[in-house]
Amino acid sequence: MIGFLITIIKLLAIILVVATIHEFGHFLASKLLKVGVDEFSIGFGPKIVQKKFKGTMYSLRWLPLGGYCAIEGEEPSEDGIETDSSYQKKNAFEKIIILSMGVIFNFILALVVFLCVYLPGNVATTEIRSFSNNSVLLEAGLQEGDKIVSLNGKKVELYSQISNFRLGEGVKDVQLQYERDGKINEVTVKNAQTTEGKIGINFKVDENGESKNIVELTGAGTSAAKIGIKSGDIILSVDGISTPDATSVVETIKDKAGKEIKVQVQRGEEILDFNLTPEAKEVFDLGIGSIATEKSNLKYAFIETIENIKNIVGSYLDLFTGKVSINNMSGIVGIGEVVSKSQGIINFFMLMAMISMAVGVANILPFPPLDGGKIFLVLIECVTRKKVSEKVELTVSYIGLGLLLLLTLFVTYKDIIRII
């Protein structure tokens, strides 16, 4: 029960901070452009305290589920009369600044968190310390101490850029540049991207950094989630082969893409057998065993941030292009599950940064009533030189809101079914 309460408190704290920062972006842009703000509120519901200052009511309310910035004139007035400080009086460029500033502040929050996390510590570079078994880099002639400089002409400076690198679908080879003894060499690495079987499981990591064969999380819509493998399950064997750690689970499954396998798990005192078919996933793997580290700096923190942003944007692109099913989406319940598994203050703030970026990316999508949808309407007005009628704007917003609510209910239902 205490653990559940702690999870709720952490989740509410993340929601409150991320939403408040977002709304503060709108607030600050409005003030700088001399647009009136009727109210800036932290939280919803009944007020705890209110104070009016220079025409704006500042409120603290009881429900810590976000907040809002009531911008003067953002919704057209009933009598059609607008003051000089109204949002409606501003030009398209100024409107876009106000609408986009919430998203920008979400990214600023993430950047500040990453800077605070990465600057004091070390980062993984691209200098190779060791190779894994059957490494394609070894076959290509690389040695320990070599430093990877670029992949297909794209400069890489940190290991995260290598681990996040993807080739096109069906492409296996990569053109790689590396530095040895101050000289840049180039080589074609064969079979750098292969198809492997994945069942959609994250494993627990112990205090020594070793991955155990204990399920930490199952991804929404994955093979493991579909047949009922849950957090806390211990993977005992795959097709009769003992799997004492996470590595053995992954190694046993990776050659089974598209083939039905038998997975035996321990859940409490009970031994359960599951039949499932691993999904075929293209994986970019150069076969690096370990990598050199060095002291972080401002540039490296920016690189890590950009890599995280690219991953989040990529996940949305995969969803809209059909590479990822809507069944793989998670809602507030899924986020809560992740929050409950986060350990330590560093992981908590890293999760906050990731969620802040996800909120930013989601809000900029051209889908009403999100900020991106409002920006889209402003751009339409710029092209047509004709204001979108209030009736059309409200209709589109209501339809968009209804679709968003249906999507939220759907992913929440899928999360609950997966977890229980």
Structure confidence by residue, pLDDT tens digits, 21-79: 999 999 999 999 999 999 999 999 999 999 999 889 999 999 988 889 999 988 765 55
Assess contact for 95 and 253: CB atoms under 8 A.
Answer: no
Domains of the chain: 2-118+356-419 (no CATH), 122-199+280-295 (2.30.42.10), 200-277 (2.30.42.10)
**Buried-exposed string 258-278: b where 16+ CB fall within 10 A, e elsewhere:** eeebebbbeeeeeeeebebbb
Residues 230-259 pLDDT 10s = 888 899 999 999 999 888 888 889 888 889
Give the pLDDT confidence score for residue 42 in this predicted structure. Answer: 94
Side chain identity, residue 109: L
**Cα–Cα nearest to 70, from 53, 54, 87:** 87
State the Cα–Cα distance between residues 406 and 222, nearest whole angstrom: 21
DSSP 389: P
How much is the pLDDT for 289?
83
Write the burial class of residue 231 (CB in 10 Å: 0-12 exposed, 13-18 middle, 19+ buried): middle
What pLDDT digit, counting tens, does each position of 349-360 carry? Answer: 888 888 888 888
Is the per-residue pLDDT at 161 higher than 70?
A: yes
DSSP 81-128: ---TTSGGGS-HHHHHHHHHHHHHHHHHHHHHHHHHHHTTSEEEEEEE
Please tell me the pTM assigned to this model. Answer: 0.75
Segment holding 248, helix H or strand E: helix 246-253
Of 4-8, 92-96, 110-114, 150-154, the least confident: 4-8
- Contact predicate 164/173, CB 8 Å: no
